[in-house]
Structure 1
Amino acid sequence: MTNQSGTSDNNISRRRFMGHAAAMAAFTVVPRRVLGGPRHVAPSEKLNIAGIGVGGRGGDNLRGVESEKIVALCDVDWQSAAGAFRRYPDARRYRDFREMLDKEGDAIDAVVISTPDHVHAVASMAAIKKSKHVYCEKPLTRTVHEARALTLAARQAKVATQMGNQGMAFEGNRLIKEWLWDGAIGDVREVHVWSDRPTHQGKLPLWWAQGIERPTDTPAVPEHLDWDLWLGPAPYRPYHPAYVPFRWRGWWDFGSGGLGDMGIHNLAPVFSALKLGAPTSVCASSTAVYEETLPLASTVHYEFPARGDMPAVTIHWTDGGLIAARPPELEDSREMPREDGLIFVGDKGKMLVTGWGGHSPRLIPEAKMKAYRQPPKSLPRSIGHYEEWIKACKEGTPAESSFDFAGPMTEAVLLGTVCVRAGGGKLLWDSRAMKITNRPEANNHLHYPYRQPWTL
């Protein structure tokens, strides 16, 4: 890319760059064209943002960032995208994000990606390679390999990133860390985490189908949907309404079930508070495993090594309506959260967290909570999930769920789905080599061959 003088921005020395910026700042806010491209946006300027996948959840995410300029919209289903088209009538419209990124060029500073999971990685990587800031819905990727690749690429490109697990901005997440680091329940060696997905409150009907095989009929593709682009890098299969819209989450080729959906939300405060990295092993069991879809319910156990002065810890995950055993410390008059919850087990007590994403923590029993003298608030409070990312794009301050946090967590979480898909049992994980060491055949589930011409 070249600047206005026609010389390459890469040839401007750091000393010359800083001196020029300081001189300009004495008179006015420095516009991004002077600072060298779309990654340099002054705090007083609005970002030019493009949406990739703008129906449903994508529309919600765009509303979260519409304090900036929404300049381009991309969706393979223009019927689903109609609401976003009406809300942002001046935004240019595309079906293929690759065409959008090529044509828009420097007119885009950042992208918001809200496609089905199997497109997250290829869309994010395409944007990162063009030096765009990236907000991507959770789970960050569909495969373990993709998560590692995105983490490294974003770090090298120095773009601002955020994964869409909004709970990381909750007050509860700060309280969990402050209380645990204060020693409220002592050393934590065990955590129970659950979600009822794909059921609702542990009952039918399902949010999306799991435990089924591929349909055999082949209805016509709706005129408003580009099925080939919807499939993206996934293996080809005929269109069927069993996959779209949103029903894709339970199919192995497109999603990762309750663990990839709510597991990312509910495990995030655990990873953050306990400073977790990669697990050393994963062990899973489930209802019947199907070739095409995730099982109806599963249990996954993650083993993490000691970190600094924190001891080794075991994380127990359950989904499909299964929940952790009721702790004896919980009063009979209080209900266990059925939809989403956590229990931190310390050597001096327990903490129950109700709601998704670490919403409402309490020490149990209630008498212990009332007697606990809470420490001063020592952690910065969030300015808002979307606002964090916008600020990161403009000022370089890291967002709470940047890919440096979200990537390694996604890797670890998706190892659980790998273990389930491999039939359960125990997998030993070598994170440095990015390899399962005791069952080589399970490594086949860390990634898959993309359909041509898609690449990462």
Structure 2
Amino acid sequence: MKSENSKRISRREFIGTSALAIGGLTLVPAHAVAGLGHVAPSDKLNVAGIGIGGMGSGDLEDVAKTENIVALCDVDWSSQVENVFKLYPKAQRYKDYRVMLDREKDIDAVIVATPDHTHAVISMEAIRRGKHVYTEKPLTHTVYEARMLTEAARKHNVATQMGNQGQAGDGPRRLQEMIHDGAIGAIEEVHVWTDRPNRGLSDTYWPQGVKRPEDMPPVPETLDWDLFTGPAPLRPYHPSYHPFRWRGWLDYGTGALGDIGCHSFDSIFRILKLKYPISIQGTSTLVNGDSFPLGSMVTYDFPARGDMPPLRLSWYDGGLRPPRLAEIVPGVEMGAGGVLYVGTKGVILGDRLLPQSLDDTYKRPEPYLKSSPGHRQEWILACKGGDPAGSNFDWAGPLTETVLLGNIALRPELREKMSYQSLNFDPETLSFPNMPEADQFLHYEYRSGWTL
């Protein structure tokens, strides 16, 4: 018989416990035991997927190797989503994440892989309910949303991770070891470029540099367009927005910079100890207020950090890229996308030291930075009481803010003024002291019925 002072340990409390002593015996959860090849049912997270037709399906596939998938939610029950439903026949199915969270009381963690404009409202709802959250990149649609999510995750003490999977790779770790070893000396410039939104010479991943369509085809029977729209302005449905092609529209996406920046900037921020820029400049092909430009260049200036000098980080998209430096001799390919570190002794293009004479003489340090167990695995372990994941919101929030500040510098409303001054950012007041009219683009007024 239990004493009246005995306390019932909930399943969620048990998940966060590394070992439980009972009657002199120690019961060790399976995740703490190497080599067993299984996970005890009581030690599995109950995970819900929100937005499962695209990247979310891959997130679920990885997490399902060790955890329970108990609920699935998507606003469009297309054939693609129906195929994901079939993979998890025991999972409950929903179109509205709010209904799902109300009904499924035993959810421990959620994966948010919806279009950018709904990341924040969904993630915040889950955080406030005490759920652990994995949110695809970019973390949010606006700078303000990124700040609010970061603070909320800290307040509610939940495990978080943004979906910039490359941060878990060994390549960035080896690069960090080289740069911290002084392989190319002090670094004052970094260039990052991508061909997105281009897929090739005659095709694009999604439309940019175009006006909003005017025709109004019928909404597909499988799609709840109101739920897709969420906090954004309600527009007539069009296949130019969904499926997938939402990324280039200001209402729903964050353009090429939002798509790639949280990947490409991550290792740069870690290696060079960056956080917030002090000023941003932007220039682009002509913009129209509906979609992102076909090509753009954004320059961020960061202050000195310890013994590291001030840094200029330059971004190029739409097929634009930096000029070839003298160290990049003929025959060395810049590529459609890449990262170039410029130091006082030489440069690093990808993982290649240049000039070649430097690569021939430099001895790379022995690896010392610990490998990751895997990007999503980091989050799973954090949910169970382990170390914070590598791209938890304390890290991913400021990174996302910086990425999205670049999109503000490209706003058509600021184009003329940006031609004769930089945009200065104050992270403490979350404002632009030298251009107050830019503050409005840190966030936007949600559609009626939606709050953060």
Aligned-pair identity in percent equals 52
Specify the alignment match of 1:191 in structure 2: 190
Give per-residue Cα distances to partners, 1:380-432, cap 9 Å, x unaligned: 11111111111111133111111111110000110000010132442110110
Which letter maps to 1:206? T
Specify the alignment match of 2:378 in structure 1: 388
Specify the alignment match of 1:260 in structure 2: 258
Q: Is the 8 A contact 2:21 2:27 kept in 1?
A: no
Task: Determine if the alignment matches structure 1 residue 401 to structure 2 residue 391.
Answer: yes
* Residue ranges of structure 1 left out of the alignment (5+ in a row): 10-16, 32-40, 354-360
Report the more deviating stretch, 322-331 or 21-30. Answer: 21-30
1:203-352 maps to which residues of 2 (within 5 A)? 203-338=201-336, 340-352=337-349
1:31-430 maps to which residues of 2 (within 5 A)? 45-67=43-65, 68-79=67-78, 80-105=80-105, 107-201=106-200, 203-338=201-336, 340-353=337-350, 361-421=351-411, 422-423=414-415, 424-425=418-419, 426-430=422-426
Residue 27 of structure 2 aligns to a residue whose secondary structure is coil
Which letter maps to 1:429? F
Q: Is the 8 A contact 1:147 1:407 kept in 2?
A: yes
Q: Is the 8 A contact 1:113 1:136 kept in 2?
A: yes
Cα shift at 1:266:
1.0
Q: From the superposition, tell whether residues 219 and 327 of structure 1 become closer, same or farther in structure 2 (CA, over 3 Å).
A: same
Q: Is the 8 A contact 1:162 1:403 kept in 2?
A: yes
Which letter maps to 1:28? L
Residue 86 of structure 1 aligns to a residue whose secondary structure is helix
Which letter maps to 1:306? A
Give per-residue Cα distances to partners, 1:330-360, cap 9 Å, x unaligned: 232221111x20111111111111xxxxxxx
Specify the alignment match of 2:35 in structure 1: none
* Residue ranges of structure 2 left out of the alignment (5+ in a row): 10-15, 31-38
Q: From the superposition, tell whether residues 345 and 220 of structure 1 become closer, same or farther in structure 2 (CA, over 3 Å).
A: same
Q: From the superposition, tell whether residues 366 and 215 of structure 1 become closer, same or farther in structure 2 (CA, over 3 Å).
A: same
- TM-score by length of structure 1 reads 0.89
Q: Is the 8 A contact 2:20 2:28 kept in 1?
A: no
Which letter maps to 1:439? M
Which letter maps to 1:381? S
- TM-score by length of structure 2 reads 0.90
Q: Is the 8 A contact 2:20 2:27 kept in 1?
A: no
Structure 1 runs (4+) greater than 3 angstroms displaced: 4-9, 20-27, 41-44
Specify the alignment match of 1:357 in structure 2: none
Separation in 2, partners of 1:271, 1:289: 29
Cα shift at 1:52:
0.2
Cα shift at 1:61:
1.3
Aligned pairs, number? 428
Cα shift at 1:77:
0.4
Which letter maps to 1:333? G
Separation in 2, partners of 1:26, 1:299: 62
Cα shift at 1:7:
8.3
Separation in 2, partners of 1:165, 1:222: 31
Residue 83 of structure 1 aligns to a residue whose secondary structure is helix
Task: Determine if the alignment matches structure 1 residue 454 to structure 2 residue 441.
Answer: no
Give per-residue Cα distances to partners, 1:289-309, cap 9 Å, x unaligned: 111111110000000011111
Cα shift at 1:23:
5.5
Cα shift at 1:24:
7.5
Separation in 2, partners of 1:370, 1:30: 49
Q: Is the 8 A contact 2:232 2:447 kept in 1?
A: yes
Q: CA RMSD for the aligned pairs?
A: 2.4
Which letter maps to 1:78? W
Specify the alignment match of 1:13 in structure 2: none
